[in-house]
Amino acid sequence: MALRTIREYGDPVLTKKAKPIKEMTPKIEALIRDMLETLYDSGGVGLAAPQVGMLKRLVVIDISEEQNEPHILINPEIIESDGEQKGLEGCLSVPGKSGMVTRPNHVKARALNEKMEPIEIEGVELMARAICHELDHLDGKIYVDLVEGELYDNEDLVPAEDEEDEAADMGQETEETNGEA
């Protein structure tokens, strides 16, 4: 296994449409292993092959905190989606930035697994967001094109628990505490 370089926003490969994988080969097996290692090393939840410079329709997703539940999706396509969620989204190819993006709250996708067997995967909330985000990469789309409003520097964003601590330090109420300290 090897870490792959993650291509960053502005790299032309990120705007190109990826090609389907026709058969499992040792090179594709190595790419899957490398993508998982790169994903886990980066601390992200998903990675698409174009992000490591390969124009193949392949994504790896793992939303588990333990990084031990990988989903390998070859030639994926969304076959169903519903609901709506709006939330901050980031990308390993756009380091240090986040923006508000609206995505479906539930998606179902069809793909092949690493054994080239047909599978279906359903996702809600974060998993639905990750599936949509990674599949966008396969079509040359980057989340910054979907951002509603401005793109934020991650260092300027304050985690929710820090806001509560700061509000408590200043004797202010937050939405979550509603004065119940």
Give me the active site residues, please: 134
Distance CA 158, CA 148 (A): 19
Question: Which DSSP category does 93 fall into?
Answer: T
Strands 118-124 and 85-91: unpaired
Q: Residue 1: which residues within 8 A CB-CB, separation 6 or more?
A: 33, 34, 36, 37
- Residue 70's alpha-carbon distances to 127, 130, 160, in angstroms, are 12, 12, 27
Using H for helix, E for strand and C for coil, what is the string for 105-120? CEEEEEEECCCCCEEE
